[in-house]
């Protein structure tokens, strides 16, 4: 008998004569003569109930079937009397693959805090919540490839090790070639970090965009999807040191087309999850509602998770310029009589309180803000005719803030050089990037979607550390 996944078995519903399932014990309860085991194998959030007639098994055979143990069970599938489940398995054979000492197993059959689970990142995918989140994460990753493939975009693999600081923010992790046995030393005998990548100074990439532009200016439309790194020591629920980014880059797209693509892309992803992750999203919807009930009235979500997801799919995003957004903020009071903590004036970088006010209180829908002041954005963004603003675009989401950052790129060689000089961006290592403006330049645009922020929105989770399998933050325990 080959193994059948619990999802398939439960979906089939009909009684099978004989089936084998393998998975991890969630709970065991029962009486002297019968044990009920809830088994999960990761294929679905639903458990299969195993019914074990204890008169047919020796104590030795069942004593190790405890929460966390991995077992194989064979038996007949029958209609279930229990509510909430179509079928159950009447077990005839039981094998324990791996015991889990009930005294020591960290995941007791009770509710654990997310902080505790983060310290047990290697075991937490066995919990209902993290299991559901990781299945949704997979579905969204798959949907990303589907979306771009169907539009004729090529998946371009951009380097992880790079010499350039794409965002010019200086938040990079250095890469070195130090060998443990024989690290290069300077005259004082200290390890010489200048050696770096065989003599070159290199970092972990903060963005695949610059290389992505080279792809777009030859293949037409490309996207990257990979890990990116930011050495920011920020302890927020929206930042990771290692996160995944999706970065489409398109030749011949101008700002408006860039916005259209960003909106269509996000709506596609949400719709895909709604259609393909029903069980998990229903579970996460309840979880989010329970969490909401713990919050003070004014911090609760007006809509449930599923309502929020449907809302995004069914409504167009609002589009405003930065200047209009500042006007709105200047004429608004975020809380009765109170002002924003961070004073609003033209030229400031929008803070999360401003972004969230625009999205959650003013427009009450996702907002795309364009044409930011040039001084607060990266060197590569195309200068507008006003000489003050650039063709930047940020997509702001309820509960999240910035989910996408992008722009039309400066495609004029002289203007780009001028911006680099103004912003002190070193030109030597970006010689190849400048080449792209010398040889066959073209208008082009692109954006970056923070994958984890997207998952936060779709799953209704509160902390970005809980939507990536092994979060890399200054506090991570599982390095």
Quote the CA–CA distance of 228 and 115 in Å, as a whole number.
24
Q: Does 459 bind ligand 4AD (CB under 6 A)?
A: no
Quick note: the x/- pattern for Mg ion over 350-389, rule CB under 5 A, is: ----------------------------------------
* Contact of residue 468 among Mg ion, ligand 4AD, none (CB under 5-8 Å per partner type): none
What is the Cα–Cα distance from 254 to 406, expressed in whole angstroms?
11
Which of 172, 240, 436, 455: binder of ligand 4AD (CB under 6 A)?
240
E-strand stretches of 297-364:
318-321
Residue 166 Cβ vs Mg ion, minimum distance, rounded to whole Å? 12
HSE-up of residue 236 (Cα within 13 Å, Cβ side): 8
**Residue that is written with structure tokens 């910035």 in the block:** 402
Q: Give the count of alpha carbons within 13 A of 413, CB side only.
A: 10
C-alpha span between 102 and 122 (Å, rounded): 18
The stretch near ligand 4AD (CB under 6 A) out of 8-16, 53-61, 147-155, 442-450 is: 442-450
Sign of the torsion angle spanned by Cα atoms 53, 58, 61, 67: positive
Kindly report the length of the chain.
Answer: 479
354 binds, among Mg ion, ligand 4AD, none (CB under 5 to 8 A by kind): none
Query: Could you tell me how far CA 16 lies from the centroid of its own chain?
Result: 39
Binding range to ligand 4AD, per CB under 6 A, among 54-62, 110-118, 242-250, 289-297: 242-250
Which three-class secondary structure state does DSSP give residue 249?
strand
DSSP 3-state assignment of 226? strand
- Closest residue to Mg ion: CB criterion: 405
Residue 401 binds to Mg ion (criterion: CB under 5 A): no
- The binder of 16, among ligand 4AD, Mg ion, none, by C-beta within 5 to 8 A per type, is none
Q: Does 405 bind Mg ion (CB under 5 A)?
A: yes
Q: Residue 248 or 405: which CB sits closer to Mg ion?
A: 405
Q: Whole-angstrom Cα distance, residue 115 to residue 243? A: 19
For ligand 4AD, the binding residues in 202-231 under the rule CB under 6 A are: 207, 209, 230
Residues 396-415 that bind ligand 4AD (CB under 6 A): 402-406
Q: Select the binding partner of residue 406 from ligand 4AD, Mg ion, none (C-beta < 5 to 8 A, by kind).
A: ligand 4AD
Instruction: Decide if residue 287 touches ligand 4AD (CB under 6 A).
Output: no
- Closer residue to ligand 4AD in complex, CB, 132/404: 404
DSSP string, 354-403: HHHIIIIIII-S-EEEEEEEGGGS-TTBPBPTTSSEEEEEEEEETTTEEE
Interface with ligand 4AD, residue 329, by CB under 6 A: no
Torsion of Cα atoms, 344 then 346 then 351 then 352, to 10°? 90
User: Among residues 287, 356, 453, 465, which is the contact residue for ligand 4AD, using CB under 6 A?
Assistant: 453
Question: Which residues neighbour 185 within 8 Å (Cβ) at sequence distance 6 or greater?
Answer: 191, 192
Cβ–Cβ < 8 Å for 221, 250:
yes
Given the complex with Mg ion, which of 402 and 435 has the nearer CB atom?
402
Contact track, Mg ion, 272-311, x by CB under 5 A = ----------------------------------------
Q: Among 447, 456, 458, 471, which residue sits at the site for ligand 4AD (rule: CB under 6 A)?
A: 447
CA dist., res. 397 & res. 181, Å (int): 49
Per-residue 3-state assignment (H helix, E strand, C coil) for 141-193: HHHHHHHHHHCCCEECCCCCEECCCCCCCCCCCEECCCCCCCCCECCCCCECH
Of 119-127, 327-335, 362-370, 449-457, the window that binds ligand 4AD (rule: CB under 6 A) is 449-457
Exactly one of 24, 225, 243, 317 binds ligand 4AD (CB under 6 A); that residue is 243
Smallest distance from ligand 4AD to CB 315, Å? 21
452 binds ligand 4AD (CB under 6 A): yes
Residues 170-209 interacting with ligand 4AD (rule: CB under 6 A)? 207, 209
Mapping DSSP to helix (H, G, I), strand (E, B) and coil, where does residue 71 land? strand
Q: Which residues of 35-44 are buried (b: 16+ CB within 10 A; e: fewer)?
A: bebbbbbebb
| Residue 240 or 461 with smaller CB distance to ligand 4AD | 240
Give the 3-state secondary structure of residue 223: strand
Q: Closer to ligand 4AD at the Cβ: 7 or 239?
A: 239
Q: DSSP secondary-structure letter at 197?
A: B
Which one of Mg ion, ligand 4AD, none is in contact with 131 (Cβ closer than 5 to 8 A by kind)? none
Residues that bind ligand 4AD (CB under 6 A): 166-167, 207, 209, 230, 232, 239-240, 243, 245, 247, 402-406, 446-448, 450, 452-453
Residues that bind Mg ion (CB under 5 A): 405
């Amino acid at each position: 008998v080959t193994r059948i996944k619990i999802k398939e078995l439960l979906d089939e519903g009909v009684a099978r004569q004989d089936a084998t399932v393998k998975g991890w014990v969630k709970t065991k309860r029962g009486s002297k003569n019968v044990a009920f085991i809830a088994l999960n194998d990761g294929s679905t959030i639903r458990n299969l109930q195993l019914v074990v007639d204890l008169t047919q098994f020796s104590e030795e055979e069942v004593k190790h079937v405890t929460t966390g143990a991995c077992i194989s069970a064979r038996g007949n599938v029958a209609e279930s009397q229990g509510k909430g489940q179509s079928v159950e398995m009447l077990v005839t054979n039981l094998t324990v693959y791996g015991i889990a000492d009930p005294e020591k197993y960290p995941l007791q059959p009770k509710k654990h805090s997310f902080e505790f689970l983060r310290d047990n990142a290697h075991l937490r995918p066995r919990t209902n919540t993290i299991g559901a989140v990781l299945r949704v994460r997979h579905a969204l990753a798959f949907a990303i490839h589907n979306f771009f493939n169907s539009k004729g975009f090529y998946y371009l693999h951009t380097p992880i090790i790079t010499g350039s600081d794409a965002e010019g923010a200086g938040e990079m992790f250095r890469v070195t070639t130090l060998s443990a046995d024989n690290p290069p030393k300077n005259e004082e005998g200290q390890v010489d970090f200048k050696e770096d990548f065989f003599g070159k100074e290199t970092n972990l990439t903060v963005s695949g965009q610059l290389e992505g532009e080279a792809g777009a200016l030859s293949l037409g439309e490309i996207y990257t999807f990979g890990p990116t790194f930011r050495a920011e020591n920020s302890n927020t629920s929206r930042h990771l040191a290692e996160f995944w980014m999706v970065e489409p880059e398109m030749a011949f797209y101008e700002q408006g087309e860039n916005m259209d693509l960003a909106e269509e892309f996000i709506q596609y992803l949400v719709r895909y999850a709604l259609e393909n992750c029903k069980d998990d999203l229903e579970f996460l919807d309840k979880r989010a509602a329970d969490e909401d009930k713990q919050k003070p009235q004014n911090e609760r979500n007006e809509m449930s998770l599923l309502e929020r997801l449907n809302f995004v799919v069914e409504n167009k995003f609002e589009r405003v310029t930065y200047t209009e957004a500042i006007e709105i903020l200047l004429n608004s009071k975020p809380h009765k009589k109170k002002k924003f903590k961070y004073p609003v004036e033209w030229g400031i970088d929008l803070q999360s309180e401003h972004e969230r006010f625009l999205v959650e209180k003013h427009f009450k829908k996702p907002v795309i803000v364009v044409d930011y002041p040039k001084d607060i954005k990266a060197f590569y963004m195309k200068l507008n005719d006003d000489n003050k603003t650039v063709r930047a675009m940020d997509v702001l989401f309820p509960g999240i803030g910035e989910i996408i950052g992008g722009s039309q790129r400066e495609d004029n060689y002289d203007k780009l050089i001028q911006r680099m000089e103004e912003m002190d961006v070193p030109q030597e290592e970006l010689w190849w990037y400048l080449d792209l403006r010398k040889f066959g330049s073209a208008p082009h645009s692109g954006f970056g979607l923070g994958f984890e922020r997207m998952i936060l929105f779709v799953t209704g989770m509160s902390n970005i550390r809980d939507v990536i399998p092994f979060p890399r933050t200054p506090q991570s325990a599982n390095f």
